[in-house]
Amino acid sequence: INVGGKNIRAAEQTLEAAYRDRQFLKDPMVSVAVVSYKSREVSVLGSVRSPGTVAFPRDTTSLDIVEIITRVGGFLPIAKSDAVTVTHRQADGTDKVTTVDLEDAITGRPQRGKDRTTIMVYPGDRIWVPERLF
């Protein structure tokens, strides 16, 4: 019985109706309790000062990638910040990989005639910052 996307009371009512309709119980009383919530974090790996996970604040569905990089301490000097990859798991289960240039966004030196593009990151995404080859 699918109760995804429902609040606790709606899930209880759905389960009660299922027990009643399938004639398992005459007058069921169902109680649902949430044991844990799905983790809402993004993984940041590679050439950043503190690789690891960044938790999303409560009631936040997305964060700008610059804020995420800032939360992990920024890029290391050897980071290739113009080729950062963001991997997002889509609804159909496939991964969508996007390569972004964060050099200007992080340093604060925009290129002439080029506006800063906002790249939003969502819970479950993975960010990889490669090393620059000298």
8-state DSSP, 73: T
For the chain, the average pLDDT equals 88
pTM, entire model:
0.69
d(CA 115, CA 106): 13
- Residues 75-132: pLDDT tens digits? 999 999 999 999 999 889 899 999 998 887 766 665 555 555 688 999 999 999 999 9
Write down the residue that tokens 């007058």 correspond to: 27
